[in-house]
Amino acid sequence: MASNRAQISMEAVVGVVVILLVAVVVSVFSLQRSQEASLFSQNSVSSSECEKLSSIIYLLSSSGAKPSLVFSLDSNALVDSSGLITVGEYYCDFLGSAATASLKVGSVKAFKNSEGVVSFEQVS
């Protein structure tokens, strides 16, 4: 009789262990999916910020006057005078001429300087 109880207890322990293993596997997969979704969201924000800066540089470069524009930046960015904008791990090209600048999150003023080059300054 004791042997039957031991066998039943062992089967119960094995069943609980199997259920726990399934729960761990499901948790790992859901965590991985969550991280992928977060990375996709971050790349989407970086892409839109990069395109925003590219459009602003093109707009101000092609303008005949000396316009200025204040805009909000949601991610840190680096504008390189060689024609490359980097936001996080995302980068894009721009048309026009811009001075090299390291931009921080917040309000930024873009303006065309006396040499016709787009420059940036932090407003806040």
- Show pLDDT as tens, one digit a residue, over the chain (124 residues): 556 666 667 788 888 888 888 888 888 877 787 776 666 556 667 888 999 999 999 999 888 777 889 999 988 999 999 999 999 888 899 988 999 999 999 999 999 988 889 999 998 7
Torsion angle (degrees, nearest 10) of CA 40, 73, 102, 56: 100
Reported pTM: 0.65
Q: With contact defined as beta carbons under 8 Å apart, do 103 and 122 qualify? A: yes
Give Dmax over CA atoms of the chain in angstroms.
97
* C-alpha distances out from residue 3 to 6, 8, 11, 124, Å: 5, 9, 12, 76
Please report, for the chain, the start and end positions of each structural domain, with discontinuous segments joined by +: 2-122
Nearest residue to 109 (alpha-carbon basis) of 99, 95, 124, 92: 124
Lookup result for tokens 């729960």: 23
Q: Quick one: pLDDT at residue 88? A: 85
User: At residue 110, what is the residue type?
Assistant: A
Using the structure block, give the residue that is written with the tokens 């069943």.
15
